[in-house]
A and B are shown apart, each in its own frame.
Chain A
Amino acid sequence: MTRLLLVIAVVFALGLFIGVRVSRAEDPYIVLASTTSVDNSGLLTHILPAFKKASGIDVRVVALGTGQALDVARRGDADLVLVHDPDAEKKFIDEGHGINRREIAWNDFIIVGPAADPAKIKGNKDIIVAFRAIWNANAAFVSRGDKSGTDALEKRLWKAADLDPAKAGSWYKDIGGGMGAALNTAAAMDAYTLADRGTWLSFKNPAQLTIVLEGDSRLLNRYDVIELDPKVHAQAKRDLAKKFADWLVSAEGQSAIGEFEMSGQKLFHPEADPKPGSTAS
C-alpha cells in the first residue's frame, strides 16, 4: 500500500510542483484574437516585446483564421482582434461587437504553385485570368475552406471569375485548414494555392512550390485592429486593449512592423506605405 501511495504521491507532487511554478504572479495581460498569418510569420513575436517594454502589458495571442478569430471575440473571449477580411470585419462592426477599426499594416496575396506551372499562369498579372486558367486546366488547387480571410478572398475571386468552386472537379481540394496546412498540402500534391505573402515567406517546407502570380491590385491584403464595443462586451479589458491598438498605429509600433524582415524581405508594410494600384478592394 505504501508503495502504491508513493507512486501516486510522486505523480501528484510533480504535477502540483510544476503547476505552482506555472501559476506564478502575472503581469497585466490582454487576449488578442488574431490571424495565423501575423502570428506564424513571426511578426507578433517580433513586435510584442517592444510593446511589453513600453507598456508592461503581456499580449496573449490566440492565432486562428479570421472567421474564427471574430467568432471568439463575438463570444467575449478576446479583448481585441487583429484580422484581414474587410467584409467579415464590416459585419462584425455592424453587429455591434467592434469599434474603432484601424489599418495597421498591409501586404499582398500571391498564387503559389508547382514550378512546372501546368495551368501556364506565369507571366500573367491578372488574377481572374489565372483562376480561369486553373479551372480550365483542371490543375490541382488547394482551398483553405476555413472561412479565414484568405479563404474569403479566394471565394470572392472565383465569383468575380463567374466560376463556382462547389461545381469544380476533384482537382479542387477543400482542406478546411490553416495557411500552413494548405501550403504543406500544395507542396505534397503539386497544387496551386492562394497564400498571404507573410506566411509564404516564413514557410519552411516549400518543396518545388514557387510564386506564379503576384502584383494584381485585387490581391491587396490589409490588416486591421478592431477594439470591442464596451457596450456589448463589458468584460473586455478595454483600457489595456486600447493601449495596444494605439501603440500599433503609433510611430513606434509602425516602425516595429516595418522593420520586420525575413531573409532580407519585408513581410508587412506599415499602413502609410504606398499601396500598388488604387482600385484595391
Chain B
Amino acid sequence: MSDFGEAAALALKLIVNFDSGLFAIVGLSLSISLTAVAIATIIGLPAGAALATYRFVGRHALIVFVNSMLGLPPVVVGLAGYLLLSRVGPLGSFGLLFTPGAMVLVQATLTTPIVIAIVHRAAEEQWAKHGEAFQVAGATKLQTLPHLLLIGRSQVLTAILAAVGRAISEVGAIIIVGGNIDGVTRTMTTTIALETSKGNLPLALALGLVLITISIILNGLAFALAERKTIS
C-alpha cells in the first residue's frame, strides 16, 4: 500500500506545485487527443446518422466493419501509421513521422469508429421512431440528419466522451508514430511507460493519478453541460 500512498502524495505535489514539465505534457496530451476526437466527430456524426437513414448495398457489411473496428488494437494502428508515414512509405513526403500530427492521425483512426458506431445506434433508434414523421413532413433524408443527432444528443455526447476516453488513455499507437520525444511528442501515457521502464514506479503511478483526475474533470464538465441542457 505504501507505493500507492507515495504515488498519491507525489501526484498531489506535482499538481500543487504547478510543475511546468507536467503541465506541458498534460497540454500536449489534451491537444493531441482533443484534436483527434474533433476530427472523429466531424466524420463520425454525419457518417453515423447517414448509416442509420440511408439504404444502400453493402450497408450491413459496413456496419459490421465499423463495429469490428471498435476492437482495433492501437499497436497495430501505430505500426500501420508508422509504415505509411515513414520516409519510404506512401505518405513519407509529408514528414509527419515523430510529430504530434502523426499522433493525431492515428488517434483519429482509433476514435472515428467509436463515434460512428455509437451515433449510428442512437440515430437508428430515432429514425425508427420519427423517420416516418420526417418524411411525411417532406424532409429529405439529408435534412433529417441534424435533427436525428439533436434528438439523440445525449448518446452523441456519450460517443464523443467515449472517443476522448480512448484517445487520452492510449499509448500503443502514439508511442510508435510519435517516438516519445521529450518536449515534442511526449504525452501523459508515454511518460508513464517511460518512467515505468526507468523503475521510477511512484512517479509513473502519480502521473497515472493525474491522468485519471483530468479524465474526471473532462467528464464532469460534459456531465454538467448535459444536465443544464435537460433542465432548461
A residues touching B (Cβ–Cβ < 8 Å)? 1, 3-4, 6-8, 10-12, 14-19, 21-23, 31, 36, 40, 45, 60-63, 75-77, 178-181, 183-184, 187, 202-206, 235
- Which of A11, A19, A40, A77 meets B197, CB within 8 Å? A40
- Nearest CB of B to A127, in Å: 24
Known: A4-B149, A8-B41, A11-B38. A40 touches B194 (CB 8 A): yes
- Cα–Cα, bound, A203→B197 (Å): 9
User: When the two chains form their complex, are residues B35 and A206 in contact, meaning their CB atoms are under 8 A apart?
Assistant: no
Set of chain A residues within 8 Å of B30, measured between Cβ atoms: 14-15, 18
Q: Does B198 contact A (CB under 8 A)?
A: yes
User: When the two chains form their complex, are residues A76 and B88 in contact, meaning their CB atoms are under 8 A apart?
Assistant: yes
- Smallest Cβ-Cβ distance to A41: which chain B residue: B198
Contact with A along B181-202 (1 / 0, CB 8 A): 1101000000000101111110
Q: Does B222 contact A (CB under 8 A)?
A: yes
- Cα–Cα, bound, A254→B121 (Å): 62
A and B contact pairs by CB, cutoff 8 A, 27 listed: A1-B153, A3-B232, A4-B156, A6-B225, A7-B226, A8-B41, A8-B160, A11-B41, A12-B34, A15-B37, A19-B32, A21-B31, A23-B100, A31-B179, A40-B197, A60-B184, A62-B180, A75-B88, A75-B89, A76-B92, A77-B86, A77-B97, A180-B197, A180-B198, A184-B197, A204-B198, A205-B201
Set of chain B residues within 8 Å of A206, measured between Cβ atoms: 199
Which label, helix, strand, loop or mixed, suits the secondary structure of the B interface? Answer: helix
- Nearest CB of B to A245, in Å: 19
Set of chain B residues within 8 Å of A4, measured between Cβ atoms: 149-150, 153, 156-157, 229
Contact with A along B78-106 (1 / 0, CB 8 A): 00000000111100100001101000000
User: When the two chains form their complex, are residues B201 and A204 in contact, meaning their CB atoms are under 8 A apart?
Assistant: yes
- Smallest Cβ-Cβ distance to B164: which chain A residue: A11
Q: Does B27 contact A (CB under 8 A)?
A: yes
Set of chain A residues within 8 Å of B89, measured between Cβ atoms: 75
User: When the two chains form their complex, are residues A12 and B38 in contact, meaning their CB atoms are under 8 A apart?
Assistant: yes
Q: Which 6 A-B pairs have the closest CB atoms?
A: A180-B197, A205-B199, A15-B34, A76-B87, A18-B31, A62-B179
- Cα–Cα, bound, A259→B35 (Å): 42
- Nearest CB of B to A43, in Å: 13
Known: A21-B27, A23-B100, A205-B201. A60 touches B181 (CB 8 A): yes
- Nearest CB of A to B4, in Å: 15
- Nearest CB of B to A226, in Å: 17
Set of chain A residues within 8 Å of B97, measured between Cβ atoms: 77
- Nearest CB of B to A273, in Å: 26
- Cα–Cα, bound, A202→B100 (Å): 29
- Which of A22, A61, A178 meets B31, CB within 8 Å? A22
Set of chain A residues within 8 Å of B41, measured between Cβ atoms: 8, 11-12
- Cα–Cα, bound, A147→B201 (Å): 26
- Cα–Cα, bound, A11→B92 (Å): 30
Set of chain A residues within 8 Å of B196, measured between Cβ atoms: 180, 184
User: When the two chains form their complex, are residues B100 and A22 in contact, meaning their CB atoms are under 8 A apart?
Assistant: yes
User: When the two chains form their complex, are residues B27 and A22 in contact, meaning their CB atoms are under 8 A apart?
Assistant: yes
User: When the two chains form their complex, are residues B182 and A61 in contact, meaning their CB atoms are under 8 A apart?
Assistant: yes
- Nearest CB of A to B46, in Å: 13
- Smallest Cβ-Cβ distance to A36: which chain B residue: B197
- Nearest CB of B to A34, in Å: 11
Q: Does B228 contact A (CB under 8 A)?
A: yes
User: When the two chains form their complex, are residues B199 and A203 in contact, meaning their CB atoms are under 8 A apart?
Assistant: yes
Set of chain A residues within 8 Å of B160, measured between Cβ atoms: 7-8, 11
User: When the two chains form their complex, are residues B28 and A22 in contact, meaning their CB atoms are under 8 A apart?
Assistant: yes
Set of chain A residues within 8 Å of B153, measured between Cβ atoms: 1, 3-4
- Cα–Cα, bound, A205→B27 (Å): 29
- Which of B34, B146, B149, B228 meets A11, CB within 8 Å? B34
- B110-168 residues with Cβ-Cβ distance < 8 A to A are 146, 149-150, 153, 156-157, 160, 164
Find the residue from A4, A179, A181, A202 having the highest chain B CB count within 10 A: A4
- Cα–Cα, bound, A181→B31 (Å): 29
- Smallest Cβ-Cβ distance to A187: which chain B residue: B199
- Cα–Cα, bound, A203→B200 (Å): 8
Set of chain A residues within 8 Å of B146, measured between Cβ atoms: 1
- Nearest CB of B to A142, in Å: 14
Set of chain B residues within 8 Å of A40, measured between Cβ atoms: 194, 197-198
- Cα–Cα, bound, A225→B198 (Å): 23
- Cα–Cα, bound, A222→B32 (Å): 38
